[in-house]
Structure 1
Amino acid sequence: MALIAHITDLHLRPRGLACYRVSDTNMLAERAILALNGLTPRPDAVVLTGDLTDKSDPREYALARQILSRLAMPVFMIPGNHDGSADMRREMSGFPGMDGDVDGKLCYTAEIGDVRLIALDTNIPGKPNGELGTPQLNWLSDRLSDDNRPTLIALHHPPALSGIQHMDAIGLNDANALAEVIGPHKHIQRLLCGHLHRPIIAEFAGKIMTLAPSTGHQVVLDLTEDGPPMFNFEPPAYFLHHHTLQAGTVTHMAYVEAYPGPHHFFADEGVSWPGDDA
């Protein structure tokens, strides 16, 4: 069994600065950490699929260390396009996997309950799009072949197209090569992604891709041609991946903010639910 929280795209800024001048991503990340620590049952681990920072600034990483150290469970992170692989490895040393290195890419494996996590690095320095590269793809192929336990693969850039054209234009360059590597492996339960700031579920290479929303602002859902890049403040959320031997991996979306309830299901007086004893 394993319960894994999946958060993404914190876009932390130096204290006192808002992301894109209007998004208080630091405050929103703090709220997400409080929500995760308050879960019952508590997750076995948190997977953070990139864009931990907004500018890969040492001040942003210092804030990230402070915020993420408050989590009551291990945190497994990977770089996004707003981070830097070398910067993350240096500034977040001490967190799991930060010594992983394949041709400069920050990638590693981890065990979370009875699930195996394979964390990949799609960062291209100075570029918004992503790429795994041949050495990392070869490493991934070897890791998938040497262990057939239920496996989650984490990467920032989603390999499947979303229909949001301005985001698809900065997607994963070598998605087809990734499909060739993962296609034959039936023990892959999920691809965990970020980057698009929206909750999206899609099929890729016969696998289920779960793209989590941001803990901060969200990309506007615009499926028209040539829609402009815009963001809004839809409710921040995260995914919970619950793995059991009986059901495999089941993914739930949970919201960061608290809402009214919970309330019991009570019928009006004198009214019974269908199937209740009258």
Structure 2
Amino acid sequence: MTLLYHASDLHFGAEDTAALDWFVARVGQDTPDAVIITGDLTMRARSAEFAAAQRWLTDLSVPVLVEPGNHDLPYFNPVRRIWRPYGRVMRLQEKLHDGVSVDGVHLVSLPTTARAQWRLNWSKGKVGRRDLHEAVQSLEASPSEKCRIVLTHHPLVEAATRTSGRTTGGRAALEAIAAAGAHAVLSGHVHDPFDRQVVTAHGPVRLIGAGTLSERVRATPPSFNRLTVDSGALLADVCAMN
């Protein structure tokens, strides 16, 4: 059996210290095979916020995989946002672990953030053609016996949560990764957990969203998802603070 912890939207700079301490304690109890963070490590992508996030993630003492969120792109430096939007996130990931391998599970990144968009709200999701192509290739190269999980920040399609992802190209991306053999998509952004199965032309795909460990809660208290994979079957439980 493989055990994964799925958290999202930590928002260092607006983090909930009690929620982070609670998560650390749960990691110490369970010792998951990996922790997956589906974006928004920081609030404003400041270097001090990334440094605080790195210290906290390193202290977990388990493999960590980070998918960038819209808050992790530079807010106050337009030059850096255009030319090196993911520089700090990628350096952080390299310092944590150079790739994460988990038995029985194939994890695939599908970025949904954009340095710029043809709409006013750049916080919403967008799937680029190159990123989708690379995700599809990775899925198709995965051994058939593995549970194939795609990591995004924004939900590819809406999940009846208070906050929306409004991901441009999300439905088409869902169809493409379903055709390539994806079993599930993990995401964040909306700050409320959800778990739904979406029917595609190539079969159903499970969409699982994590809540937040920050002060920016919506309808749900701070929470994360506890995922187990056993013989290809994926079980997800929401763990929320009392």
Equivalence map 1:198-277=2 (5 Å) = 198-204=192-198, 205=200, 206-217=204-215, 219-221=217-219, 234-245=220-231, 248-256=233-241
Deviation at 1:69, TM superposition (A): 0.7
Q: Is the 8 A contact 1:12 1:26 kept in 2?
A: no
What CA distance in whole angstroms lies between the structure 2 residues aligned with 1:29 and 1:244?
Answer: 28
Give the TM-score normalised by the residue count of structure 1.
Answer: 0.72
Q: Determine whether 1:74 maps to 2:63.
A: yes
What CA distance in whole angstroms lies between the structure 2 residues aligned with 1:73 and 1:7?
Answer: 14
Amino acid of the structure 2 residue aligned with 1:241:
L
Give unmatched runs, 5+ long, in structure 1. Answer: 14-18, 98-108, 222-233, 258-278
Aligned to 1:192: 186
Q: Determine whether 1:119 maps to 2:119.
A: no
Q: Determine whether 1:157 maps to 2:154.
A: yes
Give the TM-score normalised by the residue count of structure 2.
Answer: 0.82
Deviation at 1:122, TM superposition (A): 1.6
2:139 pairs with 144, 169, 183, which one?
144
Superposition RMSD on alpha carbons, in Å? 2.1
What CA distance in whole angstroms lies between the structure 1 residues aligned with 2:178 and 2:183?
Answer: 12
Deviation digits for residues 33-79 of structure 1, max 9, x if unmatched?
2222222xx21010000001011110001101111111131000010
What CA distance in whole angstroms lies between the structure 1 residues aligned with 2:177 and 2:49?
Answer: 34
Aligned to 1:44: 33
What CA distance in whole angstroms lies between the structure 2 residues aligned with 1:249 and 1:67?
Answer: 28
Q: Is the 8 A contact 1:33 1:68 kept in 2?
A: no
- Hey, which of these two has a bigger chunk of helix by percent? 2
Deviation at 1:208, TM superposition (A): 0.6
Structure 1 or 2, whichever has the larger Rg, is 1
Give unmatched runs, 5+ long, in structure 2. Answer: 74-85, 117-121
Change (3 A) 1:43 1:141: same
Equivalence map 1:49-128=2 (5 Å) = 49-84=38-73, 85-96=86-97, 110-125=100-115, 127-128=122-123
1:135 pairs with 119, 130, 136, which one?
130
1:173 pairs with 143, 164, 168, which one?
168
Q: Which gives a bigger RCO, structure 1 or 2 (Cα 8 Å, sep 6+)? A: 2
Amino acid of the structure 2 residue aligned with 1:72:
S
Give percent identity, aligned residues only. Answer: 23
Higher mean alpha-carbon deviation, 67-76 vs 115-124, is at 115-124
What CA distance in whole angstroms lies between the structure 2 residues aligned with 1:190 and 1:218?
Answer: 26
